[in-house]
Amino acid sequence: MKWGFPTGLRAGWRWFRSLNENPVYLREKGGWGNPNPYYEKLRRYSPFVVMGAIVLGLCAGTNPALLGATEDDELFNFICLVCLPGGMLSMLTIYGSFMAPALTAPTISMEVNRGTWDILRLTPHATSSILLAKLFGGLARLNIWKVMLVLSFFQALMLLLVITVVPSEATAVSSLLIGLGAWLRPWVEVLFAAFIGMYLSTWARSSTFALAASYVSVVLMKLFNSSLIWLGVWNLFNADTLLSVGGSMFSPTAVYGTAVLLLWWGIVRQARKLSN
């Protein structure tokens, strides 16, 4: 099965390094031409998006204040140290998942409506190269990646530290599942939002419809692929509490990652059909 990625690690690395010279990438990044109108309109309301992300991000994580702990409690301070970065990471993930479809949902449908998609296909670039340049160019406008890298690494490290310090029957498998789940999940969530937007853009002629359908897909995925649901599933088949927790953290990550790969295959396949 051909997934459409540039073949060979060296070729892929050279292609990635040359992105700053790629006109498709630069246009999606806003370097020249008309900017993405949907993203520009949505960015005007970004303060409200940030406020919503803060509220939902705090609700998504553990709030020690809800546990009845006091500020003098050492456990409370320790939980704050562990949970506050997680809350901030949840905010960034929600914000990125909300903004990413606005960057990718109009990408193909607007090209088709303008009649410029066939012109792009006449260039010497492969279809997968054009799609990746548009994807990376759009996502480059989200200034969250460096902070997300630091917070996701810190959260995974702190969770592994808690498992090591607190007396428990942690196994290598459960520790690995918890660490990978905490580190990778924010990334695959935002990527899923971006990829579902681009995938729907290859089907829908209306960018507005593709954007609305993307948000519906993101919300449904978040609801039915939650750690709470997976915790119940793991508890049905496993009595080990820590392994169930690890599985509930890694399973959503695995589902998101698999969905991203399948969506990419569908994007390349459908984009090639548009040229026929």
pLDDT at residue 167 in the model? 54
Residue 68's pLDDT band (boundaries 50, 70, 90)?
Answer: very low
pLDDT at residue 199 in the model? 96
pLDDT at residue 259 in the model? 97
Which residues, 6+ apart, have CB-to-CB distance to 59 below 8 Å? none
Distances (CA, A) of 24 to 46, 121, 142: 26, 12, 17
Q: Tell me how crowded residue 236 is: count the other CB atoms within 10 A of its CB.
A: 8
* Per-residue pLDDT tens over the stretch 153-169: 988 887 777 677 655 55
Calculate mean pLDDT across residues 198-211.
91
Distances (CA, A) of 128 to 28, 30, 36, 39, 222: 15, 21, 21, 23, 28
Using CA of residue 145, residue 229, residue 239, residue 236, what is the dihedral sign? negative
State the Cα–Cα distance between residues 149 and 235, nearest whole angstrom.
31
Using CA of residue 145, residue 151, residue 157, residue 160, what is the dihedral sign? negative
Instruction: Give the pTM.
Output: 0.84
State the Cα–Cα distance between residues 190 and 142, nearest whole angstrom.
11
Using CA of residue 12, residue 18, residue 24, residue 28, what is the dihedral sign? positive
State the Cα–Cα distance between residues 101 and 47, nearest whole angstrom.
18
State the Cα–Cα distance between residues 64 and 79, nearest whole angstrom.
7
Residue 112's pLDDT band (boundaries 50, 70, 90)?
Answer: confident
CA 198 vs. chain centroid, Å, equals 13
State the Cα–Cα distance between residues 125 and 101, nearest whole angstrom.
24
Share above pLDDT 70 across residues of the chain, in percent, rounded to a whole number: 73
Tell me the Cα Rg of the chain: 21
For the chain, the residue count is: 276
pLDDT at residue 160 in the model? 78
Distances (CA, A) of 26 to 4, 58, 96, 105, 230: 21, 35, 20, 18, 40
Q: Is 47 helix (H, G, I), strand (E, B) or coil?
A: helix
* Per-residue pLDDT tens over the stretch 11-63: 777 877 888 888 888 888 876 666 677 777 666 665 555 555 555 555 554 43
Q: Tell me how crowded residue 216 is: count the other CB atoms within 10 A of its CB.
A: 11
Q: Is 172 helix (H, G, I), strand (E, B) or coil?
A: helix
